[in-house]
Structure 1
Amino acid sequence: MDLSRLLAPRSVAVVGASSRPGTYGNQAVANLVANRFPGQVFGVHPTASTVHGVRCVPRLADLPTAPDAVVIATPAASVPGLLAEAGDIGAGGAVVFAAGFAETPGGRPTQARLRETALRYGLPVCGPNGNGIVSVTARAPMWGDACTLKRPGPIALISQSGNVAVNALASTRALRLHTVVSCGNQAVLDAADYLDTVVRFPDVRAVALYLEADGDGAKLLRALARCAERDVRVVVLKAGTSPLGASAAASHTGSVAGDARVLRAVVEEAGGVWAHHPHELLELAKALGYARPAPRAGTVIVTCSGGDAAIAADEAHRLGVPLPALAASTVTAMRTVLPATATVANPLDYTAVIFGAVKPTADLVAHAGADPAVGSVLVYYDRPADLDPDAAESWDGALAGVMAGAKRLCKPVLLASTLPELLPEPVAELLVDAGVVPVAGLREGVRCAGVLHPQAADAARLRAIAATTEAAARSAAKAAGSTGDSAGDWLSEHEAKDLLRAAGIRTPPGHLVTDADAAVTAARRLGGPVALKLSAPDLRHKSDAGALLLRVDGDAAVRAAFRHLRGLPGRSGTPVLVESMCPPGVELMIAVRRDGLVPVLVLALGGIWVEVLDDAVLVPLPGDRPTVRDRLRRLRAAPLLDGRRGHAGVDLDAVGDLALRLAELAQKADLALIELNPVIARPDGATVVDAVARRLSGRTHHE
């Protein structure tokens, strides 16, 4: 669908235009009039002739021209028919405010009719049950709440929460928005559709996404690929976690690679930024929208407070934002400006002695930013809202000094208040005009500085991940079509290991037995201590079920172990797997999950510590050996892989090859999930000790 007319309209018709205050139809017309929308505005009402001075006609078919956007402010039952009328006259799209659709069980049939009508006409529809669309650049607030537009700018906001969008429009943080979308129920369009369109606007430089549901993974990836191609940065805030479903919850993988974490891996793969709350979402988007990219990582912090310097340094350490030591030439230059009581360091406390002095402040900012190890400059500055003229002089001087110093640099300069409320909007607007990024909050200042050196995003790789995602969806649909069942079957351990061995993945030698004599014979054949374990599709946590016995040695012990396992409740006929014990090494978990937002490879510290330590990294598939090696290095447990205190390191190439073979196997065997835990990694290779797997179902989480 082409969303361009809907997102940047030159004509708008409001169906349900009303003179009655408090109605959506009244507010929608009032917003367009009050904000001086420069295009044509029409009202549609069966009897009214004008609303807020806007001419009304009885029906959409009576309009003199096909509007770019139709705002529908009528009850839910009328919407499908009105969409058909909009399609008949060639409208460019529609915004639907009404509730009473799929958010309630009784409204689902109405939403189904809405969607069917929109698709039949190829008509993009925003909503229902949302606040609408605001094109700030076109001065077109197609919005259900009162809305006063501010200065337009380079930042788009796409929100699956209406209130997040409402608050962003009302915020006083010099947030110059380009387009704001409240997605509503997403009956026709989802966040990825809007992202794919707003990124095409030449003056959009950053997009903030507030998501509650992930949506279509392949479509999101294609939109992110377009962002990468156009050098548009994306910030994502994900609210809550989607249900993992029985398949994921029944495995360790579901705990460490749930849907929110998969989405985060996709965002980071695309060079995007992950936010943790709405305030941070907007500050990050503002920084990415206003600032030039930093030429390198590394920030220098400038403040007149020793306390602020210490706290900022702590935050930088927690957030992983490097604060490089200043070069000798920088130190020398700064000493010519600083009072004798000041110490040259990063963070730099220039003391209150020169606070308010324009030239010294400008020199310090310029010297700090000129340091060859520095990529960005972060200045702390708090401005009380109500200052008398005499007091304001020193604050004005400090501010002027920061702006003058920034003009002498080709690197981004940010100015942050320590408390969000200590950066009044007029001051923030002045900074934006001067090319300085205003940030509300001490921690947010450090976080924003840390994202200005962008991670390179590979659009071709993002599209490859999209293709892999679509292939998994096709396999799931085919499986559901052939079986009529949306629940994929779990495999027993010995079945999963048969697949692994056929794929060239090493497992311990072993035998499947059904009686005690066969268990003894198998143990003799293998030699040495063995492991005995029950093997059945419903046994996925053997330790918890007591279905695993290790280091069993000797005929009598093997016989007793077999009888013990078969004596567990309901296990009298369950086969027993007898395997050689694997020499000790580093225990890892390696898994592939293909039924989430996108297929991912999961690498984690394994054994019983998977969920306790929550030390995992994800690779959206397809992957390659360098990527897998890089992700392994990001584990907190990575030092264990290199060896410590006389223990040899592991063969990382062998681990990487195993992981990539597993990904290939999962695709070829149409597996939704295959989890290897533990994998014993050693200097001589990697061996899979335990495995669970489930075939693809016909239902993906985003349907």
Structure 2
Amino acid sequence: MTAIDDPSPGKSPLHALLAPDSVAVIGASNNPAKRGYKAMLGLVRGGYAGTIYPINPKADAVLDVRAWPSIDAVPEAPALALICTPAATVPELVESCGRRGVKGAIILASGFGEAGADGARLEEEMLRRARACGVRLIGPNTSGVFNLHHRLNLLALDRLQPGDIGVVSQSGNMLLSLALEAEHHGQVGFSTYVGPGNQSDLGFADYLRYLGEDPATRVATLYIEGFSDGRAFLDTARRVSATKPVVVYKSGATAQGQRSASSHTGALAGSYPMTVDLLRQAGVSVVSYSDDILPVAEGLGRLQRSPGRRVAVIADGGGQATIAADRLAEAGLELATLAADTRKMLAAVLFSQASTVNPVDVAGTTDDHPSLLATCMEIVAADPGVDAVLLVGMFGGYARRFDESLADDEMRGAEAMVELAGSGDKPVVVYSLYAPARPPALGRLRQAGVPVYDAIENAVNVLAALGDRGAYLDRPLEAPSAPARPGPRGQDLVANARHEGRHLLEPEAKALLAEYGIGVLEERLVRDADELAEAARAFAGTPVAMKVVSPDISHKSDAGGVALNLEGEAALTEAYADIMRSAGEYAPQARIDGVLVTPMAPQGVEVIVGLMRDPTFGPVVMFGLGGVLVEVLEDVAFRAAPLSRGDAAAMLDQLKARRVLDGVRGAPGVDKNALIELLLSVSRLMEAYPAIAELDLNPVIAYPDGYAVVDARILLANDVESAP
């Protein structure tokens, strides 16, 4: 798959395909069981205003629309062709479309690359012909397309409501689920839908670019199983998310990145957490559960952002107030601390037993006066320490729960909430246990664009997404750093290793790091008794570590190739002999270049710094708590390179155990600025040396005034032919 070339400032070519003024349905049919019938039904029943050309050599008309025997016979070149015929017929039909001047085709058939080697060859042939004749392809194996504002409904789905949510989904059933959920909700509508299918030509980056440009779309929503070009998607997401929200539900892990690796970094690459981190770095709102997709998309589409993460909760029940507080904390949001004046104003309108501490529990005050809930919301929204307001409870159901006479007061409350929501930049979100019943007061809120949810979790996740988006948009814009260049020493080291068909040895890796200002410990490579004696004299009085140096031994500890806390020439001599013997027994055929002797690093906080060239997303930097348990704890953060300073700082702040970096139980905190500089240096190193496939610094010992790289591995790619 290759993304559509970006002709900025021009618009995406997809506008002509997804809002066409004419459509040819190749394989149109009068048989209700055929896809060609469903597509025609969607166009005719949906009121498509453009010209429809059913293509069927055996029919005079399809659904009372004149049919044509072939694409060559139609009187004009249609803007779009929908090909509903079996896979084997598709390459020739695509070529016919190109000859007729059709610029885009949607391929419904399966049986291509997803079906095995024969299908893959068929897909390659289809793509070859499409490129030769200038036809762009959606699919194959796609569920179809609709553009409700253009009345283009090639899926024949009914009861769809036009709206502002654009959807791209690799699963047709997921689209159906969202459509049924929207129908049940009653106020959610869609703009454009695309099923990308196999993405043999057009892919997620192309569709996201289109949704970003589409004036009818306020939020782009994507269900993604796998990326064909993850880096292109990240680049596009970064541009689109600057102007409108992007919501992604990513299913599964990135299979391309799950591979056996000889470093901790490689073992953790390609994981689902890595994908999530990279998407969020690009401004994407990632949802973890499928039932959050539509609520979060609706909330972001309507409210766009929050100025912060401090939430005030108004509740008419203590239990739901507690649940809301729990969920807010889990989502990384804060319960706003209400000012004294705010609490006084609340106390003036509520019963004495009400709680004016956030969450605010009205304690029965609103049982016969539900519009007071709106008054409480107005009071807390005026507090400068509040960024968003969440109402939880049974608003909308007071008339049903207590007395029908309360319906008018509830509607007055709804009008006041609508006015509040439209008067400032603080989001107002409502959870009501009566939401499924669709009472009039809640209908008024929804109609005015105030999100209403029937689960507290959905409401809280919307607020979290709004807070994240606000923080992303408010981040300082950083100028890109100057391009990095390889140094002469590093070039020689990499070229020599590549010539010998191996990775960098640890001393070579550390020499390359030092060239980029990365702090490494003094060390000596020992290959015989004389060099051992010299190292003992050089490090006299200092405990040292000894490690085997071999291009054929990846995990030194497993080979008995590490000895620690050694002092004196006798201890070094004994350890040297033990290491050489153990390594030889562990890997008899291994080439052993000697033993590295280096002073023991003082105790500190162990972290890991890594980088890899992910096959899906390209260069990626990793940071986390280090040591031997890194793959067990997996408390790590990922960012796509090149890094900005803000990216590097965010990696430190993301760790679950980040308090360890600040110092615990009386221990001093580490030098975070030094770690940030280390991450930036590693990012520049990867940029300078495209031959580096993976780098693993584990552990790095972090101190209050710097760090020390204790162990370093640099793996080189076998397929990089460029200069090091």
Q: Same fold (TM over 0.5)?
A: yes
Aligned ranges for residues 436-447 of structure 1 at < 5 Å? 436-447=450-461
Q: String of CA shifts for 1:293-339, please: whole Å, max 9, x gaps.
A: 33333222222211100011011111111120222332233233323
1:150 counterpart residue number: 160
1:434 counterpart residue number: 448
Q: String of CA shifts for 1:36-94, please: whole Å, max 9, x gaps.
A: 22222221001111222222101112222222221111000111111112222222421
DSSP-derived class of the 1:599 partner:
strand
1:475 counterpart residue number: none
- 1:76 aligns with one of 87, 93, 98: 87
Count of residue pairs the alignment pairs up = 682
Q: Distance in 2 between matches of 1:423 and 1:29?
A: 36
Cα distance, 1:334–1:647 mapped onto 2, change above 3 Å: closer
Q: Distance in 2 between matches of 1:165 and 1:429?
A: 25
8 Å CA contact 1:516, 1:563 repeated in 2: no
2:7 counterpart residue number: none
Cα distance, 1:400–1:240 mapped onto 2, change above 3 Å: farther
8 Å CA contact 1:601, 1:619 repeated in 2: yes
- 2:605 aligns with one of 586, 596, 601: 586
Greater RCO structure (CA 8 Å; 6+ sep)? 1
Aligned ranges for residues 567-646 of structure 1 at < 5 Å? 567-568=581-582, 569-571=585-587, 573-574=591-592, 575-596=594-615, 597-625=617-645, 627-646=647-666
DSSP-derived class of the 2:49 partner:
coil
1:34 counterpart residue number: 45
Aligned ranges for residues 156-171 of structure 1 at < 5 Å? 156-171=166-181
Q: Distance in 2 between matches of 1:396 and 1:253?
A: 62
DSSP-derived class of the 1:416 partner:
strand
Aligned ranges for residues 486-565 of structure 1 at < 5 Å? 489-515=502-528, 518-527=531-540, 528-565=542-579
Q: Which amino acid aligns with 2:431?
A: A
- Greater CA drift, 320-329 or 630-639: 630-639
8 Å CA contact 1:675, 1:693 repeated in 2: yes
Asked whether 1:186 is paired with 2:193, we answer no
Asked whether 1:200 is paired with 2:210, we answer no
1:66 counterpart residue number: 77
Q: Distance in 2 between matches of 1:629 and 1:280?
A: 29
8 Å CA contact 2:235, 2:282 repeated in 1: no
Aligned ranges for residues 208-357 of structure 1 at < 5 Å? 208-229=221-242, 231-243=243-255, 245=257, 249-355=261-367, 357=369
Aligned ranges for residues 642-681 of structure 1 at < 5 Å? 642-670=662-690, 671-681=692-702
8 Å CA contact 1:222, 1:463 repeated in 2: no
1:132 counterpart residue number: 144
Q: Distance in 2 between matches of 1:307 and 1:590?
A: 44
DSSP-derived class of the 1:325 partner:
coil
Compute the displacement of 1:156 (Å).
0.8
Q: Which amino acid aligns with 2:206?
A: D
DSSP-derived class of the 1:679 partner:
strand
8 Å CA contact 1:96, 1:125 repeated in 2: yes
- Greater CA drift, 296-305 or 45-54: 296-305
Q: Distance in 2 between matches of 1:118 and 1:560?
A: 70
Q: String of CA shifts for 1:497-519, please: whole Å, max 9, x gaps.
A: 23223333222222223345543
Cα distance, 1:158–1:270 mapped onto 2, change above 3 Å: same
8 Å CA contact 1:468, 1:622 repeated in 2: no
8 Å CA contact 1:95, 1:126 repeated in 2: yes
Q: Distance in 1 between matches of 2:461 and 2:231?
A: 29
Q: Distance in 1 between matches of 2:404 and 2:15?
A: 46
8 Å CA contact 1:383, 1:422 repeated in 2: no
Q: Distance in 1 between matches of 2:351 and 2:476?
A: 53
Cα distance, 1:17–1:626 mapped onto 2, change above 3 Å: closer
- Greater CA drift, 623-632 or 171-180: 623-632
1:474 counterpart residue number: none
1:413 counterpart residue number: 428
1:91 counterpart residue number: 102
Q: Distance in 2 between matches of 1:570 and 1:634?
A: 39
Cα distance, 1:541–1:672 mapped onto 2, change above 3 Å: same
DSSP-derived class of the 2:57 partner:
coil
CA RMSD of aligned residues (A): 3.3
Q: Distance in 2 between matches of 1:598 and 1:462?
A: 21
Q: Which amino acid aligns with 2:710?
A: V
Q: Which amino acid aligns with 2:689?
A: A
8 Å CA contact 2:675, 2:707 repeated in 1: yes
Q: Which amino acid aligns with 2:377?
A: V
Compute the displacement of 1:104 (Å).
1.3
Compute the displacement of 1:178 (Å).
0.9
Q: Distance in 2 between matches of 1:304 and 1:121?
A: 65
8 Å CA contact 1:595, 1:696 repeated in 2: no
8 Å CA contact 1:11, 1:69 repeated in 2: yes
8 Å CA contact 1:270, 1:457 repeated in 2: no
Cα distance, 1:626–1:237 mapped onto 2, change above 3 Å: closer
Cα distance, 1:153–1:463 mapped onto 2, change above 3 Å: farther
Cα distance, 1:95–1:625 mapped onto 2, change above 3 Å: closer
DSSP-derived class of the 2:213 partner:
coil
- Greater CA drift, 488-497 or 184-193: 488-497
Unaligned runs of 5+ in 1: 472-478
8 Å CA contact 2:259, 2:267 repeated in 1: no
Compute the displacement of 1:214 (Å).
2.7
Compute the displacement of 1:427 (Å).
7.8
Q: Distance in 1 between matches of 2:353 and 2:712?
A: 64
Q: Which amino acid aligns with 2:553?
A: L
Q: String of CA shifts for 1:373-415, please: whole Å, max 9, x gaps.
A: 2222222245899x98996665775465234323134232212
Q: Which amino acid aligns with 2:619?
A: P
Q: Distance in 1 between matches of 2:83 and 2:483?
A: 39
Q: Distance in 2 between matches of 1:17 and 1:188?
A: 24
After TM superposition, the score normalised by the length of structure 1 is 0.89
After TM superposition, the score normalised by the length of structure 2 is 0.86
Q: Distance in 1 between matches of 2:666 and 2:677?
A: 26
> Percent of aligned positions with the same letter in both sequences?
33
- 2:126 aligns with one of 94, 101, 114: 114
Q: Distance in 2 between matches of 1:445 and 1:484?
A: 59
